[in-house]
Amino acid sequence: MMTGEQIVAELGNFDGAAEILQAWRDGMAPEPALLVSDWADKHRMLGSRGSAEPGPWRTARTPYLRDVMDALSPAHPARRVVFMKGAQVGGTECGNNWIGYVIHHAPGPMLAVQPTTELAKRFSDQRIDPLVEETPAIRQRVAPARSRDSGNRQLSKEFPGGQLVMTGANSAVGLRSMSARFLFLDEVDAYPGDVEGEGDPVALAEARARTFGWRRKTLLVSTPTISGLSRIEREYLASDQRRFFLPCPYCAAMQWLRFERLVWDKGEPDSARYLCEACDGAIGEQHKTAMLAGGEWRPTAIAGDPHAIGFHISALYSPVGWFSWSQAVRDWEAAGGMGAGHGRRGRAAADGRCRRPARPPRGQHLGLGAGSPVLADRASHPGG
């Protein structure tokens, strides 16, 4: 097999020969082995402008994001990654780390879609500009917006080997503006059902990646909305339905957190604790950090598409200092929830699952009192 130098020698020396040789080398280079989570830990910086915890990114702060991010690495076999989430778990930052990874380490055309064009502009200003400005490895590859012909515009960021284009799911023109190897579809449950008479915006966006075959990657992220109408719920149910299992600090039994097992003393949200499903031990939130460190994702279903994987996590997993169990209780009660009657305990269901369509509480039809656990199971998640 001829080397690059031999090919250029055969063609003869001419202007641009060195550039052609470098492009040939870049094209022959294997996919990078560095994982997205490793890249984030090494390069990502968070500024005070957009983060409550400025400084170097630490995946150890949100261990459940590691597998989600690593599934977006080029070497991972998954082509579609679904992330159905609750409030305050870092889902969007997971996508932002992927964007930074692509710009710096695995360049290619990328399309990031927000529910509307206006939200895409806000995403660019509030998320992507700080990402570029605060992370030196990315700042070196994206020219300042103020420089002439920089390729850095509000909805488009050019970098060596690729381009990031941001658009709204309400813009058919934006969705078919370019071919893209990488797709970041954020808050898909807020997308319109049909965009300007041209069909489903998710399908339109994914059509832009078909030419990349097995090399394409799509990340779909959203908080779920109404059961039966939710896009992210539908996508998750079609995947292998992974859950993040945590060890009980008392008996070590592995389990995924359910809001039905969150209990508290009546009128005292700060007393919230979680009941282990194996030993019934009352787990205080002070154990959460160690539990998260020992957690692992486990599939709970077989996906119809072997290249589609799905992750579901609730606000209960939010790291200490972000969104507490007591706050989940307060939000649930503020939304109209009522405590269950057994032992003056209340139960919550604010776990990032879809809300059921509005209808009279089943407990009223059965003649059950307001304190019935049946009513508590009807509560909606706190959002996010």
Mind listing the pLDDT tens digit for each residue in 224-233? 988 888 999 9
- Provide mean pLDDT across the span 7-13: 59
* DSSP one-letter string for 7-34: HHHHH---TTHHHHHHHHHHHHSPPP--
Residue 269 scores a pLDDT above 90: yes
Residue of 240 and 347 predicted with greater confidence? 240
Cα–Cα distance for residue pair 40/59, rounded to 1 Å: 8
User: How many residues are recorded in the chain?
Assistant: 384
Mean pLDDT score of the chain, rounded to an integer? 82
* Count of beta carbons in the 10 Å neighbourhood of residue 118: 11
Question: What's the DSSP call for residue 157?
Answer: E
Give per-residue pLDDT as tens, 106-118: 999 999 999 999 9
Q: In this predicted structure, which of 23-32, 259-268, 362-371 has the lowest mean pLDDT?
A: 362-371
Q: Is residue 227 in some structural domain?
A: no
pLDDT at residue number 378? 26
How distant is the alpha carbon of residue 14 from its chain centre?
Answer: 48
Q: Is residue 49 in some structural domain?
A: yes
pLDDT at residue number 376? 27
pLDDT at residue number 349? 35
Q: How many domains are contained in the chain? A: 1
Residue of 86 and 356 predicted with greater confidence? 86
* Count of beta carbons in the 10 Å neighbourhood of residue 9: 12
Cα–Cα distance for residue pair 44/193, rounded to 1 Å: 35
Helix (H) or strand (E) holding 152: strand 152-153
Q: Is residue 333 in some structural domain?
A: no
Cα–Cα distance for residue pair 297/178, rounded to 1 Å: 34
Residue of 310 and 26 predicted with greater confidence? 310
Token pair, residue 95, equals 């996508």
Q: Is residue 305 in some structural domain?
A: no
pLDDT at residue number 334? 86
Residue of 373 and 124 predicted with greater confidence? 124
- Provide mean pLDDT across the span 181-191: 96
Question: What's the DSSP call for residue 224?
Answer: -
pLDDT at residue number 30? 57
Residue 191 scores a pLDDT above 90: yes
Q: Is residue 106 in some structural domain?
A: yes
Q: Is residue 143 in some structural domain?
A: yes
Give the range of the structural domain holding residue 205, as residue numbers without chain letter.
Answer: 30-222
Q: In this predicted structure, which of 84-98, 148-162, 310-324 has the lowest mean pLDDT?
A: 148-162
Residue 63 scores a pLDDT above 90: yes
Residue of 27 and 315 predicted with greater confidence? 315
Specify the CATH number for the domain of residue 123: 3.40.50.300
Q: Is residue 314 in some structural domain?
A: no
Query: What share of the chain has pLDDT > 70, as a percent?
Result: 77
